[in-house]
Structure 1
């Protein structure tokens, strides 16, 4: 059954002994404490009611950010540092990489205008944990050389996603983790998320109805009940790659089928908004033993002609079978 509503889509070394010289400050990038548009909806309206304890959450974090993930960072950072002949470079370790990533995450919670201020010893400005876990100069050196892929072996012609070559090992690793760490319930959904980004990239999207407005768009397949991300596709414009067997379908249908590929022929039920849905897609999913429901735009192909002229008021619904 097809349903039309008037709703619209959302597509839219050594610890520094002296005080840091605050007169020679290194500005923090504006994206240092950026978060995804898809924030948790389960938090209480009162922030004091939301608690984060390491005992409860660290096993979950380590399910994804594990030693294998950190080994990629350690290996590729070492390669980049040797390729660029960084002076006085000391190879890093998995444990040190954990600490440096933790420092970056903590900096998004403890906000200061410059990096140096995190390591200052001035009583009114000091946050001692940063000096205790990692020296300032070592942190700067690690962050400057942090890398996720090998520049020497990158080949745009053979790479599965050339525009994402800088982050591809990490994206592939996490995507596999997402798929293998959870068996979803029957109901799943697909929607877009926008990661705030205002740098120079050819595929930056502007979506008025999203919280970030400007950023990198990601198509995500999620479990409906929990919001758990099962798989994702980073949209890079014309170069976005989908499963080859769906190349004859429209782009949005290719997106849906590529995301749903691991769940096809297993009896799942997919919910879509009118940005993705169409009779053609619904029929194709049925051949894969997958149900689909949601709203649909009256101008989609194979829609009943009466839907094109039907005027609905707010809250009204029209359907045909």
Structure 2
């Protein structure tokens, strides 16, 4: 038996049921970790003077945290389900629904992509050299410009992403916009986007649905008017 299997077996043998209070502490630790970054997970519980952060040990022991982390599942392990997010699908769907219904946005909205840092093994992990993190998972998000609040998001997993095909010749970027802004059409909102999304077809589609739009453009985009070099 290898060491990994031994650790899993030891965790199973040492397992004891958790409760709401302990799970709140577990989530609190997970959210606190980016505020006190370490080079390795076990360093959050280190007693070395140069790296120790006592609050983590006061919340929960290292072994208990690692045991819960190893056992944490949000759905059954169903092989070949066809959904690349099936292991976290309940969480993703719950967050999207909660974000949409928590805030009524102001007039100005913005759609852009965000690269969430991830260096592990993942089929749909992306590499974007222009981003600060470079490796990670792409999220397409729609935000309220006044507050910066995320109203909805799409996790990009490739061809099976949660993107609705509007059959309006909008292209992939246009379909992303139409999916995210669907709940805010016909209400007089103004959308701001960058040149990857901007196109005459998309802006006409939005205008027909009482939604104004503004964004930088690419001269090479289909149906764009002829422009000078500058």
* 8 Å CA contact retained: 1:187, 1:270: yes
1:95 is the counterpart of 2:21: yes
Match of 1:156 among 81, 84, 96: 81
Give the superposition deviation at 1:111: 4.3
1:277 aligns to what?
198
Rounded Cα–Cα distance in structure 2 between residues aligned with 1:92 and 1:301? 57
1:5 aligns to what?
none
2:4 aligns to what?
none
Give the superposition deviation at 1:244: 4.2
Rounded Cα–Cα distance in structure 2 between residues aligned with 1:209 and 1:117? 30
Q: Deviations 1:29-71 (Å, cap 9, x if unpaired)? A: xxxxxxxxxxxxxxxxxxxxxxxxxxxxxxxxxxxxxxxxxxx
* 8 Å CA contact retained: 2:115, 2:138: yes
1:129 aligns to what?
55
SS at match of 2:84: helix
1:142 is the counterpart of 2:142: no
TM-score of the superposed pair, with normalisation by structure 1: 0.62
1:105 aligns to what?
31
Q: Deviations 1:59-107 (Å, cap 9, x if unpaired)? A: xxxxxxxxxxxxxxxxxxxxxx9xxx92242221111111112223333
2:229 aligns to what?
311
Give the superposition deviation at 1:267: 0.9
SS at match of 1:189: strand
* 8 Å CA contact retained: 1:246, 1:257: no
Give the superposition deviation at 1:282: 0.8
* 8 Å CA contact retained: 2:166, 2:178: no
Give the superposition deviation at 1:240: 1.5
SS at match of 1:238: coil
- Give the greater-gyration-radius structure (CA): 1
Give the superposition deviation at 1:258: 0.1
Number of positions where the alignment pairs a residue of Structure 1 with one of Structure 2: 221
SS at match of 1:107: helix
Rounded Cα–Cα distance in structure 1 between residues aligned with 2:169 and 2:129? 30
Give the superposition deviation at 1:189: 1.0
SS at match of 1:292: strand
* 8 Å CA contact retained: 2:163, 2:179: yes
Rounded Cα–Cα distance in structure 1 between residues aligned with 2:179 and 2:197? 13
Give the superposition deviation at 1:167: 1.5
Q: Deviations 1:219-251 (Å, cap 9, x if unpaired)? A: 111112222111111111222232244475311
Report which structure shows greater RCO (CA 8 Å, sep ≥6): 1
Matches within 5 A, 1:31-46: none
1:296 aligns to what?
217
Match of 1:207 among 106, 128, 133: 128
Rounded Cα–Cα distance in structure 1 between residues aligned with 2:51 and 2:219? 60
Give the gaps of 5 or more residues in structure 1. Answer: 1-80, 313-321
Match of 2:181 among 248, 252, 260: 260
